[in-house]
């Protein structure tokens, strides 16, 4: 396989880079959501009930599956570039909101995580379809190999980066990033 044409195809590469970001986010959320929600439940003294952490984590995958399929259908109506840009922009804002919700309500934090999961997965199909649609048929195998390699490499790095960030912020309270320990 000759990968040089894959890296020269700026359109397919742009979708693959978007997929990298998507996979970073998705893997970081999946690997840290139970820890985050456990912290929120303990810190706020709430949590438990019918919506246990395991059920919430399971729901992330279910929500993600639905939004992935639905997202690609919406893409067909709105246009791929506009849809992906909108989803990623809202996702960034919601990520910050989740981080700042840890000192508040456990229920709110859990709900925000579910919405965030839906947003993360919402562009999954659109990014992959964009990559496939941007290449000549004879280059699809090499292009998808690069697409997957980039995405899953970032999927490996996402949880590591989040863990390192938490360690560097120090402390075990919602204000730890402000110098508290």
Q: Which domains are present in the chain?
A: 10-164 (1.20.1250.20)
Q: What pLDDT is recorded for position 179?
A: 46
Q: What pLDDT is recorded for position 55?
A: 86
Collapse the DSSP code of 47 into the 3-class scheme (helix H, G, I; strand E, B; otherwise coil) and give the result.
coil
Q: What pLDDT is recorded for position 161?
A: 92
- Specify whether the CB–CB gap between 124 and 152 falls below 8 A: no
Within its chain, how far is the Cα of 104 from the centroid? 22
Cα separation, 98 vs 162, in Å, equals 14
> pLDDT averaged over consecutive 10-residue blocks of the chain (181 residues)?
89 95 92 87 74 84 92 90 93 89 85 94 92 93 95 94 84 55 43
Within its chain, how far is the Cα of 100 from the centroid? 17
Can you give the pTM of this predicted structure?
0.84
């Amino acid at each position: 396989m000759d990968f040089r044409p894959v890296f020269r195809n700026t359109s397919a590469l742009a979708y693959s880079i978007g997929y990298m970001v998507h996979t970073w986010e998705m893997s970081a959320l999946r690997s840290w959501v139970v820890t985050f929600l456990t912290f929120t439940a303990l810190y706020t003294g709430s949590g438990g009930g019918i919506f246990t952490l395991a059920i919430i984590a399971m729901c992330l995958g279910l929500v993600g599956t639905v939004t992935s399929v639905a997202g690609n259908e919406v893409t067909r109506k709105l246009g791929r570039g506009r849809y992906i840009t909108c989803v990623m922009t809202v996702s960034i804002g919601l990520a910050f909101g989740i981080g700042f919700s840890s000192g508040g309500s456990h229920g709110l934090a859990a709900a925000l995580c579910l919405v965030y999961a839906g947003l993360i997965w919402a562009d999954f199909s659109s990014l992959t379809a964009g990559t496939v649609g941007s290449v000549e048929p004879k280059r699809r195998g090499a292009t998808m190999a690069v697409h997957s390699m980039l995405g899953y490499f970032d999927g490996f790095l996402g949880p590591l980066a989040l863990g390192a960030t938490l360690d560097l912020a120090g402390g075990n309270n919602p204000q730890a990033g402000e110098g508290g320990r």
